[in-house]
């Protein structure tokens, strides 16, 4: 009996040990399996629609069935069945009777000091031995890991992959601008495509400025509009003018001075005094055109500055004389003794010079308010030394040439009375007021200079509209938000865009911008301090892989620091010199904490494609990955 009892007891102990070891092995495996990371994921439009319905929308208001007649209930059931299949690929927030209140950023988890601690510890440990072999993953039907040939480190996301869930944040908490930063092919376009698609599905007015004219982004814009049942997007593309719309950046304004400001915004930021002279030159011409009831256009302003304002001055004088009741001014000019009249330049006509003299002796001596100021400004330019005037406005000539060269002359300075051009004419204001979608492919690859000029003046136009909206007492809480998405921000950013970032939310303008490096921004704006000023206006940051050190430093500053703990141990032994030695040994363990980045800079350089860290909603930090949205064509 005793041997049998001992055998049963031993078997029980061994079985218990086996269970314990198996549990430990499973726990270890559950921690090791995610360390292999994930291959880039893909998502269909139907999946995105499902996420928006489940996690993006507010609660649907229940309808009391008792309020419906039997026939109405029957029709409702029939309609529900009829559109069931379409609903999986159609999304219209208005039709569904709910508002989309949340933004889906991707899949991931909240990054905490515990994750940072694990990352620092794993950085000092060989990772390959702890990663579950591929053959075991395949046997267990586990998701594909990050491939050996793929870019980046798998353990970064693997640290918290068991906590992964949809990253969803309230739109109301994302005000103040969102910046997407990452190196080439890191996944900026994937993230931007997802955010643009969601904005279109929400039914909001959307403006996309795409300097490099990405096919993926353009296709996503059209596909989202189709899914949402919205009109086809309006498109402006310099390389394909015949297929798009004509865009008038000077077509909407509150004060005439706004037009000069828009054009000046295209000039280099370090133009200084020459920029001020250029602004004054444009403003004089604009006010003169309005005075003679002509519509300003970029092409018209270019012709005035290149050929001189003499024709405009003559029209302005004619109106001023007419308004003053001097209908025979031309006869008076004809009778004047012109021997003492000296034109200000060789190409200035003596008749026009005489008309100016007559105006100054008659109308000019009266206090006629703004009209006299306009004509007086034109006369001042007329009498200015032509050579000097050409020098002080020289910085303006290239800008206007870029904006009116080739096919842009008709596309960007549209003539509404041209019978041979049936393309619609739009302004930024009309796009927003109509709730439309505007896609601007600026074709920066063959001509980045012109693309930058186009983007800059469009941003200036939108900024002026935001000011108009604000002055009317309209804010983001009173009217529908306007979503502006800017890719390759360093190509187009200017003073007005910074103003949009700083104050645009008050008028309901929400800006999402993507760029590669801080250095690109500094080169565009003229200094590191200006770049920092611009970056300081973004409240939300989504950081993909970044190799530039200056950019990494900016990201790490935004994410902040945490306390990282490290453990050290030392062993010592000693013996005295007695005949029978007395040996002593001691072990010392110490734990030290230091302040370090919650996301180390080198980790930013090792992120796999489409993986990111994000600081949103006032500093909540997430580690995530964004699936690639498929077109489903």
Which pLDDT value is given to residue 151? 87
Dig out the tokens for 378 from the structure.
Answer: 């034109």
pLDDT for the residue numbered 176: 84
Cα separation of 327 and 567, whole Å?
A: 97
At 276 the pLDDT is 84
Collapsing DSSP states into helix, strand and coil, what is residue 550? helix
Count of alpha carbons within 13 Å of 336, Cβ hemisphere only?
22
Residue whose structure tokens are 């009829």: 82
Per-residue pLDDT at 65: 42
Q: Considering only CA atoms, which of 552, 605, 623, 544 is closest in space to residue 112?
A: 623
Where does 504-629 have alpha helices with state H?
A: 518-525, 528-535, 549-559, 601-604
Which of the residues in the chain have pLDDT under 50? 1, 61-66, 78, 80-86
Report residue 439 as tokens: 């896609």
Q: The pTM is what?
A: 0.86
- With beta carbons less than 8 A apart as the criterion, state whether 524 and 491 touch: yes
**Residue 573 backbone dihedrals phi, psi, to 5 degrees:** -140, 155
DSSP reduced 3-state for 586: strand
Virtual CA dihedral for 79, 49, 52, 441, nearest 10 degrees? -130
Cβ atoms 593, 112 nearer than 8 A: no
Closest CA to 487 of 512, 462, 463: 512
Q: Compute CA distances 476 → 469, 470, 567, whole Å.
A: 10, 9, 51
Specify the pLDDT at position 297: 95
Q: Supply the pLDDT for residue 83.
A: 44
Token look-up 């828009």 returns 262
**Cα–Cα distance measured from residue 260 to residue 496, given in angstroms and rounded to the nearest whole number:** 13
Report the pLDDT value the prediction gives residue 371, as an integer from 0 to 100: 81
Of 163, 183, 189, nearest to 555 by C-alpha is 183
Distance CA 459, CA 486 (A): 10
Six-digit token pair at 470? 């604000």
Tokens at residue 475, please? 């804010």
- Hey, where are the domains in the chain? 22-174+607-633, 257-398
The pair of three-digit structure tokens given for residue 327, joined into one six-digit string: 């209908």
* pLDDT score at 64: 44
Spatial separation of the C-alpha atoms in residues 539 and 617, rounded to whole Å: 8
Per-residue pLDDT of 606-633, as tens digits, reads 999 999 999 998 889 999 999 999 976 5
Distances (CA, A) of 147 to 28, 136, 144, 184, 521: 22, 15, 8, 20, 34
Cβ-proximal residues to 486 (8 Å cutoff; 6+ apart), any chain: 209, 455, 459, 492, 493, 497, 511, 512, 513, 514
DSSP state of 187: S
146 backbone dihedrals φ, ψ, rounded to 5°: -65, 125
- Long-range Cβ contact pairs of 272-275 (< 8 A, separation 24 or more): 274/392, 274/394, 274/395, 275/395
Determine the pLDDT at residue 195. Answer: 97
Q: What is the rounded distance in angstroms from the CA atom of residue 32 to the CA atom of residue 145? A: 12
């Amino acid at each position: 009996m005793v041997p049998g009892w001992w055998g049963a007891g031993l078997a029980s102990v061994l079985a218990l040990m086996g269970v314990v070891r198996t549990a430990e092995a499973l726990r270890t495996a559950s921690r090791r399996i995610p360390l292999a990371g994930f291959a880039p994921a893909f998502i269909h439009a139907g999946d995105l629609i499902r996420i928006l319905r489940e996690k993006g929308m507010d609660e649907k208001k229940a309808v009391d069935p008792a309020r419906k007649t039997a026939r109405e209930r029957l029709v409702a059931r029939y309609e529900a069945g009829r559109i069931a299949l379409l609903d999986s690929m159609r999304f219209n927030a208005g039709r569904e009777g709910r508002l989309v209140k949340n933004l889906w950023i991707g899949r991931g988890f909240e990054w905490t000091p515990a994750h940072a601690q694990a990352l620092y510890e794993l950085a000092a440990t060989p990772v390959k031995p702890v990663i579950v072999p591929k053959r075991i993953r395949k046997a267990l039907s586990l998701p594909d890991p990050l491939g050996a040939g793929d870019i980046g480190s798998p353990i970064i996301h693997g640290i918290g992959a068991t906590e992964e869930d949809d990253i969803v944040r309230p739109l109301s908490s994302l005000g103040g601008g969102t910046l997407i930063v990452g190196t080439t092919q890191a996944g900026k376009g994937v993230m931007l495509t997802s955010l643009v698609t969601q904005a279109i599905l929400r039914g909001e007015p959307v403006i996309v400025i795409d300097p490099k004219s990405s096919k993926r982004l353009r296709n996503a814009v059209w596909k989202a509009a189709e899914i949402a049942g919205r009109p086809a997007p309006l498109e402006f593309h310099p390389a394909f003018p015949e297929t798009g719309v004509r865009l008038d950046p000077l077509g909407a304004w509150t004060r005439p001075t706004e037009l000069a400001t828009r054009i000046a915004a295209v000039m280099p930021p370090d133009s200084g005094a020459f920029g001020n002279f250029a602004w004054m030159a444009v403003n004089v011409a604009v006010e003169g055109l309005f005075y003679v009831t002509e519509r300003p256009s970029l092409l018209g302003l270019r012709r005035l500055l290149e050929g001189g304002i003499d024709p405009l001055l003559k029209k302005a004088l004619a109106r001023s004389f007419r308004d003053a009741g001097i209908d025979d001014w031309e006869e008076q000019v004809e009778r004047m003794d012109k021997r003492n009249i000296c034109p200000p330049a060789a190409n200035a006509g003596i008749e026009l010079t005489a008309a100016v003299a007559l105006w100054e002796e008659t109308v000019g001596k009266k206090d006629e308010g703004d009209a006299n100021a306009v004509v007086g400004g034109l006369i001042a330019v007329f009498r200015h030394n032509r050579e000097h005037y050409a020098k002080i406005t020289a910085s303006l000539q290239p800008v206007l040439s870029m904006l009116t060269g080739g096919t842009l002359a008709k596309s960007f300075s549209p003539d509404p009375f041209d019978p041979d051009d049936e393309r619609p004419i739009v302004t930024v204001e009309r796009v927003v007021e109509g709730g439309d979608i505007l896609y601007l492919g600026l074709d920066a690859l063959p001509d980045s200079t012109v693309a930058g000029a186009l983007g800059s003046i469009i941003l200036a136009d939108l900024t002026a509209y935001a000011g108009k909206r604000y002055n009317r007492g309209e804010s983001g809480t009173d009217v529908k938000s306007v979503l502006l998405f800017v890719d390759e921000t360093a190509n187009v950013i200017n003073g007005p865009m910074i103003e949009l970032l700083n104050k645009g939310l008050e008028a309901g303008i929400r800006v999402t911008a993507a760029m590669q490096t801080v250095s690109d921004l500094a080169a565009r704006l003229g200094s590191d301090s200006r770049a920092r000023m611009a970056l300081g206006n973004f409240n939300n940051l989504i950081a993909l892989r970044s190799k530039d050190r200056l950019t990494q430093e900016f990201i790490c500053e935004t994410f902040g620091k945490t306390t990282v703990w490290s453990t050290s141990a030392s062993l010592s032994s000693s013996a005295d010199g007695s005949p029978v030695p007395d040996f002593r040994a001691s072990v010392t363990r110490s734990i030290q904490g230091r302040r370090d980045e919650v996301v180390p800079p080198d980790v930013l350089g090792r992120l796999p494609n489409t993986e990111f860290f994000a600081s949103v909603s006032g500093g909540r930090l997430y580690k995530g990955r964004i699936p690639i949205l498929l077109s489903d064509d």
